[in-house]
Amino acid sequence: MTGERSFTPALGHAALTPLYDSAIALMTREQRWRERLLQQISPHARDVIVDVGCGTGTLALMIKRATPAATVIGLDPDPEVLSRARLRAQRAGLAIEFEQGFARDVARFANRGVTKVVSSLVFHQVPMDEKRAALGAMRTMLQTHGEAHIADYGLQRTALMRALFAQVQMLDGKENTTPNAQGVLTQLMTEAGFANVVETAVIATPTGSISLYRAVRPNDQGTRS
């Protein structure tokens, strides 16, 4: 984001933040795609995993529950959702680090030995320059052969999915969301220097199709796929 940085609140409006978790569960078939994403991430005890745009902590908590020995860090620019995430983790007895920052700020964790970076329902909300900056920072932060796992609205392949996705565009705006609906993420991930960029799943939901993506950071020679 240029100039004074801002962010799109959960559901597009700060007043709707208290409804976020319920709305996502109802309108995105959340359990199905999050479980698929968790399987794809396949966390291990020695992993250091950063959740970019962690929101209220749903994915971070899932990862930590699945593999308690893994180090899990959540990053989000919204102090209100971070407060909710910290409270949820505390109540669950899960040791998760939550820090405030934009997606491009993820490079601050470059010295943490990060093996995997994850993100869900973030990239469709941010401008193109921020999509590029965030992906570049994610690649920079990862160890060589580290993995990126993203779940977000991707290419809307049918007229029905495009019509359903219009609901998301009403909340988050067309300028930022349209590139996602046109399938831009795989291109941007490749341009950022990731290798083996793959769309691994497409899941239809009441608000359009959500795609899962996987990629790796290549060796220091920067070989691109």
Counting residues of the chain whose pLDDT is more than 70, the rounded percentage is: 85
Contact 116, 171 (CB under 8 A): no
Structural domain range at position 92: 10-216
pLDDT tier, 31 (very low <50, low <70, confident <90, very high otherwise):
confident
- Our count of domains for the chain comes to 1
122 falls within a domain: yes
Contact 139, 192 (CB under 8 A): yes
Six-digit token string for 116: 């995997």
Instruction: For residues 198 and 213, give the distance between their C-alpha atoms in angstroms, rounded to a whole number.
Output: 6
222 falls within a domain: no
What is the CATH classification number for the domain harbouring 42? 3.40.50.150
221 falls within a domain: no
1 falls within a domain: no
Model confidence, pTM: 0.87
pLDDT at 96: 98
223 falls within a domain: no
Instruction: For residues 86 and 224, give the distance between their C-alpha atoms in angstroms, rounded to a whole number.
Output: 37
Report which of residues 10 and 169 the model is more confident about.
Answer: 169
Counting Cβ atoms within 10 Å, is residue 33 exposed (0-12), middle (13-18) or buried (19+)? Answer: buried
pLDDT tens sequence across 133-190? 999 999 999 999 999 999 999 999 999 999 999 999 998 899 999 999 999 999 999 9
Which helix H or strand E contains 131, and what residues bound it? helix 128-141
3 falls within a domain: no
Instruction: For residues 184 and 128, give the distance between their C-alpha atoms in angstroms, rounded to a whole number.
Output: 10
- Residue 196 pLDDT exceeds 50: yes
225 falls within a domain: no
Cross-strand partners of 117: 50, 148
Across the beta sheet with 147-153, what order do the strands follow? 97-100, 71-76, 48-52, 116-120, 147-153, 208-216, 195-205
